[in-house]
Chain A
Amino acid sequence: MTHDDAEIALQKRLDLIRAARGNAVPLEDVAEVVRAILDTMSGEISAKDLHVYNELEGLARIIRETKREIAEIRPEEIKDEFLPTATDELDAIVQSTETAANAILDAVESIEAVIPNVDAAAGEALSNATMAIYEGCNFQDLTGQRISKVVNTLKRIEERVNVLVEAFGTDLEGLAAGVSSGGGGDGREDSHLLNGPQHPETASSQDEIDRLLASLG
């Protein structure tokens, strides 16, 4: 039955009821009319179909809502401004710590150069002090490695935002495709072991490393 046929049938049924009972129609008669109309559509729209249509409508609503939320966070701005700025700032930190460390090393080396000119006790004191400064300068390497980890994370976020920007407005299903697994693998055969510096609270100490090495024979 087409939509027009159904409408004509419904109109006839309503006219008959109105002729018999006027405008005061009992609920049982309304239910009977609806049942009759549904019966005439049997084979065209099943209850299962209706359920699927409802689900699809629900999904469409979720997609519309998601698009609106994506638009609100302005992914273009994140991609073009926020992430590059953050990466540049972090690179600048690495650069400035390296410059600072080298300035310290320059100064220490000039102190070392005069050690032969002072008496033995003073020379030893200076030598111990300069060695302590060298040890302290380890920070630059660790700072650089930690920041590199953050920069890599930002790059992965940028990759995902790029996919989002490309997919936005066309097909959100494309979001999942085209994004790397994000495992951090970089082609080096031991990349799964390149974790970088651990947090001080969880990092193994030299003593723990020594015990582990000893236990390995």
Chain B
Amino acid sequence: MAVDKNMRILIVDDYKTMLRIIRNLLKQLGFDNIDEATDGSMALQMLRSGTTYGLVISDWNMEPMTGLQLLREVRADAGLKALPFIMVTAESKTENVIAAKEAGVSNYIVKPFNAETLKTKMSSVLGDF
């Protein structure tokens, strides 16, 4: 099934520069409908606001709510639990990957990453585009 490039994507990172980088990479990949949040709690509010999102791309280490906490909240929410969720983080220890997997992450990208990795991981979650 073809990926709907008009889908709304929520990107979550506490570094504004990082949000800008991911947004621009997504635009180059053909995705223009992008919203931003600077921590898990802000993202959760946006996800529960009624707007339909097709993908969440989230950093892990944020305050007050981390990306892992956001992921757990999403998976525990009946209306959001099937939402594709990619973690993009500098946390590369085995224990981190296991914790994210156990929490239901769809895929995991370790920083620093390149556009090809982002495209590959999005394809594995959403289908080829």
Chain A residues close to B by CB (< 8 Å): 98, 101-102, 105, 108-109, 112, 127, 130-131, 134-135, 137-142, 144-145, 186, 188-190, 193-198, 203-206, 209, 212-213, 216
A-B contact pairs, 26 of them (CB 8 A): A98-B15, A98-B16, A105-B24, A131-B28, A134-B24, A134-B115, A137-B21, A138-B111, A138-B112, A139-B112, A140-B18, A141-B15, A141-B17, A141-B112, A190-B66, A193-B91, A193-B96, A196-B61, A197-B92, A198-B92, A204-B94, A205-B110, A206-B109, A209-B92, A209-B110, A212-B97
Are A195 and B93 in contact, CB atoms less than 8 angstroms apart? Answer: yes
Nearest-neighbor residue (CB-CB) of B115 within chain A: A131
Are B20 and A105 in contact, CB atoms less than 8 angstroms apart? Answer: yes
The interface size bin for chain B is: 35 or more
CA distance A140 to B22 in the complex (A): 13
Question: What's the nearest-Cβ distance from chain A to residue B119, in Å?
Answer: 10
Contact A98:B117 (CB < 8 A) given known A131-B28, A198-B93: no
At the interface, is chain A mostly helix, strand, loop or mixed?
Answer: helix
Question: Across the A-B interface, how many residue pairs have beta carbons closer than 8 Å?
Answer: 113
Contact A203:B92 (CB < 8 A) given known A141-B111, A194-B61, A213-B97: yes
Are B112 and A142 in contact, CB atoms less than 8 angstroms apart? Answer: yes
Contact A138:B61 (CB < 8 A) given known A108-B24, A189-B69: no
Q: Which of A105, A145, A204, A213 contacts B93 (CB 8 A)?
A: A204
